[in-house]
Amino acid sequence: MARRPPVSEPPLSELGRRGFSPEYVYRETGHSLASANGKTKIYTGVGFDVPGSPADDPETVYRATRRALEAGADGIVVSREYEEMKVAHLQAVGRAYRD
């Protein structure tokens, strides 16, 4: 797993406005893998385009997807309603998998 410097996540009071970072995805995927101890597959949820949450951009979606895979996830679950997702963000997920 490629290590990156820790990133401070927003406090709960600002979470709805700022959201979690791709490094959060990496750390929590790593925690899940360690907890599972190889006994189950880990599919990381990458949520974006959630109404009422901060606006997403393709680069952040790409980085969150890449970080989940770099942490060792067996795959990802693209979270939220498909019809609410922006095509550019879905393309970023595909690009992350291909890379």
Model confidence pTM above 0.85: no
| Overall domain count for the chain | 1
For 31-74, write each residue's pLDDT tens digit. 999 999 999 999 999 989 888 888 889 999 999 999 999 999 99
In a domain, 50, yes or no: yes
In a domain, 71, yes or no: yes
For 40-50, write each residue's pLDDT tens digit. 999 999 989 88
**In this structure, what token pair is assigned to residue 19?**
């959201």
> Cα–Cα–Cα angle for 94, 95, 99, nearest 5°?
120
In a domain, 21, yes or no: no
In a domain, 74, yes or no: yes
Domain limits for position 84: 41-99
Q: Is 85 helix (H, G, I), strand (E, B) or coil?
A: coil
Give the separation between CA 58 and CA 2, rounded to whole angstroms: 21
In a domain, 51, yes or no: yes
In a domain, 4, yes or no: no
Phi, psi of 79 (to 5 degrees): -90, 140
In a domain, 75, yes or no: yes
Report CA torsion sign: 54, 60, 65, 68: negative
> Cα–Cα–Cα angle for 78, 81, 83, nearest 5°?
115
In a domain, 27, yes or no: no
Work out the pLDDT band at 5, boundaries 50, 70, 90.
Answer: low
